């Protein structure tokens, strides 16, 4: 599959990508960020959509093209978990065809990249999330693919310029964090003499179309910053940096679930070490062999590309520390393009050598990545926050006349139809957010307490102290939730 006798389209890999797209999308409950997407998508009019988006004043305001795209998508299909996640499938195939297009003159490398793209757990996870990361990845693949074509000696005709313009626009418009990568790729492109020679000839029509769009996006992002739009404050520390690579290199599916990792120590990973070794050893071997030949890139250009990757990545990490938001693998989605490209070259290099050991490493690596993707998708420990079932249980308790406290996200309660209020009243769940014991002592003792992510919704421990003092017992556990009754 990694080598073809002629430069023909890899139809088996397209079928594999179709299977991956179908398997990756689930009907699991929305978690918090997805619920915010769903509430905007469900807005009946454009004006209502904009009012909801503007009212939040958070990072969603800085995802203009994605939020507009998903609202438009919801005009065609009903809003549900599976339908909004399926909105990622067209972008998944934009990325697939970007790889096929820009690597068409290197069929072996193209096939390796398409294979890794179709089985990668990082890609699978975000295809199954109603958020902008696959859209951003497709833009990054178009832009970085255009960069590769320019470096590799391809013809920079008008079609190339149009694809490059589309990629940069998608990369920027899908989120503010895509802008540093668009700038970095463009700077790298300007170092290519053929880029500079053709920019005012073949590139002029594309520049006339996409230039004004990019200027408008720049002005829009400046306005959002002036308005104070920013992600919610979360703790960023040095331990978060390795998790970015843990996720983008494909280990996350083989390890513990995200909720298990909240506030836990390194010992949590020990039971998963054999699975990590099954993926890690082939990865180290492949990257070491690729690095030995600088991934087929001349020394000066290799150094420039490394700087072009480290610059935006470092900038995002600095933002994480200074603006107090937790940087995860998804916040560096454009970097995954370079991880994918490096690994694709490495396994193509190993496979082309025809050594039995090298080919065995490639097979092990492909099997381990596939296993990680399947675990990420189907293992119970990786399921998203089950707001849907938690809200259904709370609604059933309210219908029986019970008092219910909801120590979880209020947007999720609203989306899943749970009646709630900020004061105790019959027929509504009380929203409990970082409660202090003195306030809790003034309330009627509830029948049911629904608690999610104590480090967020009970950060000062007041609710957990209340549970202990009043003799509550955990009666049910759902992904990211515990339910307590007296």
Task: Note the pLDDT tens digit of each residue in 257-310.
Answer: 988 887 667 788 999 999 999 999 999 999 999 999 999 888 888 999 999 999
Secondary structure (DSSP) of 296-350: G--HHHHHHHHHHHHHHHHHHHHHHHHHT----GGGGHHHHHHHHHHHHHHHHHH
Residue 1 lies in a domain: no
Helix (H) or strand (E) holding 465, with range, is helix 462-469
Q: What does the pLDDT read at residue 233? A: 60
Instruction: Choose one of 333, 364, 382: the last residue of a domain.
Output: 382
What's the whole-number mean pLDDT along residues 420-444?
93
Residue 236 lies in a domain: yes
Chain centroid to Cα 441, Å, comes to: 41
Q: What does the pLDDT read at residue 343? A: 97
Residues 136/170, Cβ–Cβ less than 8 Å: yes
* Residue 223 burial by Cβ neighbours in a 10 Å radius (0-12, 13-18, 19+): exposed
Residue 227 lies in a domain: yes
Same domain, yes or no, for 410 and 312? no
> Packing angle between helix 333-353 and helix 273-292, nearest 10 degrees?
70
What's the whole-number mean pLDDT along residues 348-354?
93
Task: Note the pLDDT tens digit of each residue in 354-397.
Answer: 899 999 999 999 999 999 999 999 999 999 999 999 999 999 99
Q: How confident is the model at residue 184 (pLDDT cuts 50, 70, 90)?
A: very high
Instruction: Choose one of 382, 402, 430: the last residue of a domain.
Output: 382
Residue 424 lies in a domain: yes
Half-sphere exposure of residue 78: CA atoms within 13 angstroms, side-chain side:
1
- Phi first, then psi: give them for residue 37, nearest 5 degrees: -65, -45
Same domain, yes or no, for 58 and 154? yes
Same domain, yes or no, for 354 and 314? yes
Residues 127, 375, 339, 270: is their CA dihedral positive or negative? Answer: positive
Same domain, yes or no, for 360 and 409? no
Same domain, yes or no, for 307 and 416? no
Average pLDDT, the chain: 93
Secondary structure (DSSP) of 127-183: HTSSSTHHHHHHHHHHHHHHHHHHHTT----HHHHHHHHHHHHHHHHT-GGGHHHHH
- Residues 304 and 272: their CA atoms lie apart, in Å, by 37
Same domain, yes or no, for 342 and 444? no
Q: What does the pLDDT read at residue 480? A: 95
What's the whole-number mean pLDDT along residues 92-114?
96
What's the whole-number mean pLDDT along residues 42-71?
94
Same domain, yes or no, for 331 and 403? no
Q: How confident is the model at residue 239 (pLDDT cuts 50, 70, 90)?
A: confident
Domain count, the chain: 2
Joined tokens for residue 97: 């065809």
Helix (H) or strand (E) holding 464, with range, is helix 462-469
Secondary structure (DSSP) of 363-393: HHHHHHHHHHHHHHHH-GGGPPP-HHHHHHH
Q: What does the pLDDT read at residue 2? A: 59
Instruction: Choose one of 322, 355, 382: the last residue of a domain.
Output: 382
Residue 87 lies in a domain: yes
Query: For residue 407, what are the CA distances in angstroms to 29, 31, 262, 481, 483?
Result: 17, 14, 17, 9, 10
Q: Which residues fall within 8 angstroms of residue 337, CB to CB, at 6 or more apart?
A: 137, 140, 141, 144
Q: pLDDT at residue 484 above 80?
A: yes
What's the whole-number mean pLDDT along residues 190-207?
88
Same domain, yes or no, for 357 and 474? no
Q: What percent of the chain has pLDDT over 70?
A: 98
Residue 56's nearest CA partner among 42, 39, 74 is: 39
Task: Note the pLDDT tens digit of each residue in 206-229.
Answer: 999 999 999 999 999 999 999 988
Query: ∠ at Cα 27 (455, 113), nearest 5°?
Result: 90
What's the whole-number mean pLDDT along residues 40-49?
96
- Residues 408 and 458: their CA atoms lie apart, in Å, by 9
- Residues 334 and 316: their CA atoms lie apart, in Å, by 12
Place of tokens 């339910």: 483
Q: How confident is the model at residue 251 (pLDDT cuts 50, 70, 90)?
A: very high
Q: How confident is the model at residue 7 (pLDDT cuts 50, 70, 90)?
A: low
Joined tokens for residue 393: 């249980």
478: DSSP letter: E
What's the whole-number mean pLDDT along residues 85-89?
98
- Residues 335 and 100: their CA atoms lie apart, in Å, by 19
What's the whole-number mean pLDDT along residues 97-103?
96
Q: How confident is the model at residue 6 (pLDDT cuts 50, 70, 90)?
A: low
Using DSSP, state whether 24 is helix, strand or coil: helix
Q: pLDDT at residue 5 above 70?
A: no
Q: What does the pLDDT read at residue 192? A: 87
Q: How confident is the model at residue 3 (pLDDT cuts 50, 70, 90)?
A: low
Place of tokens 């082309």: 352
Q: What does the pLDDT read at residue 216? A: 97
Range with the poorest average pLDDT among 189-203, 356-370, 410-424: 189-203
Residue 3 lies in a domain: no
Residue 124 lies in a domain: yes
What's the whole-number mean pLDDT along residues 73-82?
96
What's the whole-number mean pLDDT along residues 466-473?
95
pTM value is 0.95
Q: What does the pLDDT read at residue 1? A: 54
- Residues 19 and 11: their CA atoms lie apart, in Å, by 13
What's the chain's Rg over C-alpha atoms?
24
Same domain, yes or no, for 456 and 355? no
Residues 356, 359, 365, 368: is their CA dihedral positive or negative? Answer: negative
Q: What does the pLDDT read at residue 9? A: 87
Pairing of strands 429-431, 448-452: unpaired
Pairing of strands 448-452, 481-485: antiparallel
Q: What does the pLDDT read at residue 261? A: 85
Q: Which domain, by its residues, includes 466?
A: 387-485
Strand order of the β-sheet with 420-421 is: 420-421, 429-431, 404-407, 448-452, 481-485, 473-478
Joined tokens for residue 269: 């990973």
Same domain, yes or no, for 372 and 413? no
Same domain, yes or no, for 257 and 394? no
Q: How confident is the model at residue 170 (pLDDT cuts 50, 70, 90)?
A: very high
Residue 367 lies in a domain: yes
Same domain, yes or no, for 413 and 274? no
């Amino acid at each position: 599959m990694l080598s073809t006798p002629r430069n023909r389209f890899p139809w088996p890999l397209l079928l594999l990508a179709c299977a991956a797209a179908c398997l990756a999308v689930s009907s699991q409950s929305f978690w918090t960020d997805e619920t915010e997407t769903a509430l905007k998508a469900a807005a009946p009019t454009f004006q209502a959509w904009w009012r909801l988006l503007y009212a939040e004043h958070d990072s969603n305001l800085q995802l203009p093209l994605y939020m507009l795209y998903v609202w438009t998508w919801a005009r065609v299909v009903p809003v549900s978990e599976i339908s909004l996640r399926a909105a990622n499938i067209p972008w998944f195939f934009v990325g697939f065809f970007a790889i096929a297009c820009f690597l068409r003159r290197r069929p072996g490398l193209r096939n390796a990249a398409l294979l890794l793209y179709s089985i990668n757990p990082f890609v699978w996870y975000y295809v199954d999330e109603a958020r902008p990361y696959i859209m951003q990845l497709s833009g990054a693949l178009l832009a970085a693919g255009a960069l590769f074509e320019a470096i590799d000696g391809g013809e920079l005709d008008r079609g190339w310029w149009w694809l490059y313009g589309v990629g940069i626009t998608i990369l920027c418009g899908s989120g503010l964090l895509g802008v540093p990568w668009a700038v970095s790729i463009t700077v790298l492109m300007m170092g290519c003499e053929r880029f500079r020679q053709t920019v005012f000839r073949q590139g002029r029509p594309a520049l006339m179309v996409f230039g004004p769009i990019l200027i408008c996006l720049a002005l829009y992002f400046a306005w959002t910053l002036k308005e104070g739009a920013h992600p919610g404050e979360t703790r960023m520390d040095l331990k978060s940096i390795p998790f970015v690579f843990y996720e983008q290199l494909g280990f996350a599916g083989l390890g513990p679930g995200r909720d298990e990792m909240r506030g836990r120590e390194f010992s949590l990973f020990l039971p998963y070490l054999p699975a990590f070794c099954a993926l890690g050893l082939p990865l180290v071997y492949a990257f070491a062999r690729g690095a030995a030949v600088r991934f087929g890139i001349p020394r000066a250009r290799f150094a420039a590309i490394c700087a072009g990757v480290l610059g935006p990545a470092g900038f995002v990490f600095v933002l994480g520390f200074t603006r107090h938001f937790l940087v995860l693998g998804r916040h560096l989605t454009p970097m995954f393009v370079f991880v994918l490209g490096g690994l694709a070259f490495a396994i193509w290099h190993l496979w082309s050598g025809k050594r039995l050991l090298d080919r065995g490493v490639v097979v092990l690596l492909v099997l381990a990545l596939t296993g990680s993707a399947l675990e990420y998708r189907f293992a119970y420990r990786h399921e998203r926050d089950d707001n849907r079932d938690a809200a259904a249980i709370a609604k059933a308790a309210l219908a029986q006349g019970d008092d219910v406290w909801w120590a979880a996200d209020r947007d999720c309660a609203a989306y899943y139809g749970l009646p709630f209020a900020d004061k105790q009243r019959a027929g509504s769940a009380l929203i409990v957010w970082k409660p202090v014991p003195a306030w809790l002592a003034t309330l009627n003792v509830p029948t049911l307490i629904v608690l999610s992510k104590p480090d967020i919704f009970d950060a000062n421990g007041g609710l957990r102290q209340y549970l202990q003092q009043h003799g509550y017992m955990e009666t049910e556990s759902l992904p990211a939730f515990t339910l307590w009754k007296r």
